Amino acid sequence: MSFSRYTFSKKLSLPDGKKIIPSSRNMRLIRSAIEFDAIAYTVTEIKENERLDSIAAINYNDASYWWVIAAASGIGWSLQIPPGVIICIPKNLEEIYRYISWVTF
């Protein structure tokens, strides 16, 4: 049995009970939302000793949503990235859900 790299990543749970499953498709959709300016986001530069999970904890109060930042930033599968890399941090997780739902239908 094979596993996706996202098998053990936490689903993005929104307050109204909606969920976004971390999958290759959804990762691509999150990145396209950034590329088309379809969702609000901030841009920042990674500093020494920063990791995506610690940035997710600060921005979303949940370190396990690091994959959202990785997807938005076009980063593959790594929590630790070198200093100086520019990342995109989606401001509102509900916007991601609306975008993915809109593109799907």
pLDDT tens track for 22-61: 788 888 999 999 999 999 999 999 999 999 999 999 999 9
Token code pair at residue 22: 């971390």
103 contacts 23 by C-beta, under 8 angstroms? no
CA dihedral of residues 8, 13, 18, 22 (deg, nearest 10): -30
Question: Could you state, in order of their start, the residue ranges of all structural domains in the chain?
Answer: 12-104
pLDDT tens track for 69-98: 999 999 986 777 899 999 999 999 889 988
pTM, whole model, 2 decimals? Answer: 0.82
3-state secondary structure 63-95: HHHHHHHHHHHCCCCCCECCCCCEEEEECCHHH
